[in-house]
Amino acid sequence: MKVRKAIIPAAGLGTRFLPATKAIAKEMLPIIDKPTIQFIVEEAIASGIEDILIVTGKAKRPIEDHFDANLELEQNLSSKGKDELLALVEETTGINIHFIRQKRPLGLGHAVLQAKAFVGNEPFVVMLGDDIMEDDVPLTKQLMNAYDQTKASALAVMEIPHEDTDKYGVVSPNEEVSEGLYDVNHFVEKPKPENAPSNLAIIGRYLLRPEIFDILEHQEPGLGGEIQLTDAIDTLNKTQRVFAHEFKGKRYDVGNKMGMLEANIEYGLTHPEVKDELVEYLKALVATL
Ligand code: UTP
C-alpha cells in the first residue's frame, strides 16, 4: 500500500526555547520569515504526502491559524496590490491538514499514538519539526522509496559525534542490505557514549507500519518517564524488520539554539531579500573578531 499520510508531532514543551515557547509551540518559531513547521509541511508535499495530521498541545491556535485562510489579511494585501505577499500567505492554505490534541505531553510515542484513528491500517510517516532536512530528493521521499523496496518500516539515521549519543535514539546496525539501508539489531534511546552501540542516530523522520500502534498502546514509560517512540520501534523490530536509512544530506537541528542560529544564517544566505546584505554584514563582523 502507498504511503499517503504524515504525522507531525508538535505538542512538546519546547523547554530549550523558553521563554519564547511559553505561549507558542517551538514549531512556530521562524527561520527568518517561515515557521519551522512550514518547512516540514513543504517536505511532506514535495514527497507526495496527501494528508497531514498535526498533533498539537496547549499552544494549538497559532499552528491552526497559520494553515488556515486569513481573509482579512488577504483582502488587505490584495487591495494594496501586494501580490507577492498575498501569494506567500495563500501558500499555506489549501493543503489537507488535520489537527488532534495531545492532552498531556507524555512523550513522542504517546503523541504518535494520538494519530491511530487518522492513520488506520496504512504505513505512514512521522516528521519532527525539530529537524529541517535538505537534499536533492526530500528525506521523506527517500524513506518512501526504501519502503517501496522492502515494505518494512524505515527510520532516517545520520552519523553524529560519538559524545552526543545521549541526545538521540541510537541504532545498532547489522548488515547493509543495499546502499545506505541497514538491517538493525536493536534501538536504544539516548545511551551514554560508553554504552552506545554506534554513532548512527535517529533523526526526525520515520516511516512506520501501522502495527506500531498496537505496541504503543501497551508501551510503558521509559527514559524521563515518557512514552518513547524508540522503545516501541525496538519492540516492533523483534516481530518484523525495521531498517535504518542513512541520510547524507544537510540537517539543521532547530530544536536547539545553535542549530536554530545556523539555519537562520544559512537560509538568510540564500534569501533573495537579505543575502547580499547578510554577506557584507558577516564579513564586517568577522573582521572585528
Ligand atoms: P523533544 O523532546 O525534542 O521536544 O520532542 P520538546 O520536549 O518539545 O523540547 P525540549 O527538549 O523541552 O526543548 C521531539 C518532538 O516530539 C514532540 C515535540 O513537539 C517535538 O517535535 N513531542 C514531544 C510531542 O508532540 N509530545 C510529547 O509529549 C513530547
Q: For a substitution probing ligand 1, which of 7, 8, 13, 257 has the most ligand atoms within 8 Å of its CB?
A: 13
Cβ of 129 less than 6 Å from ligand 1: yes
If asked whether residues 237 and 285 sit together in one domain, one would say no
Instruction: Look at residue 110 in the predicted model and tell me its pLDDT.
Output: 97
Residue 84 lies in a domain: yes
Q: Whose CA is nearest to atom 1 of ligand 1?
A: 12
pLDDT band at 216 (very low <50, low <70, confident <90, very high): very high
Q: What percent of the chain has pLDDT over 70?
A: 100
**Contact status, residue 272 vs residue 261, Cβ threshold 8 Å:** no
Instruction: Look at residue 95 in the predicted model and tell me its pLDDT.
Output: 74
pLDDT for 46-58, tens place per residue?
Answer: 999 999 999 999 8
Q: Tell me phi and psi for residue 99, to 5 degrees.
A: -130, 145
pTM above 0.85, yes or no: yes
Over residues 139-168, mean pLDDT:
96
Cβ of 128 less than 6 Å from ligand 1: yes
Cβ of 253 less than 6 Å from ligand 1: no
Instruction: Look at residue 94 in the predicted model and tell me its pLDDT.
Output: 66
Beta strands in 62-123 (DSSP E): 97-101
pLDDT band at 239 (very low <50, low <70, confident <90, very high): very high
pLDDT for 76-126, tens place per residue?
Answer: 888 888 888 888 888 777 678 999 999 999 999 999 999 999 999 999 999
C-alpha cell at 163: 559524545
Q: Which residue has the cell 536504544?
A: 188
Instruction: Look at residue 96 in the predicted model and tell me its pLDDT.
Output: 86
Tell me how far apart the alpha carbons of residues 124 and 239 are, in angstroms, rounded to a whole number: 18
Q: What percent of the chain has pLDDT over 90?
A: 80
275 lies in which domain range? 256-289
Residue 234 lies in a domain: yes
If asked whether residues 139 and 261 sit together in one domain, one would say no
- Give how many domains the chain has, as a whole number: 2
Residue 92 lies in a domain: yes
Q: Quick one: DSSP state of residue 244?
A: E
Instruction: Look at residue 202 in the predicted model and tell me its pLDDT.
Output: 96
Over residues 2-14, mean pLDDT:
94
C-alpha cell at 209: 507500519
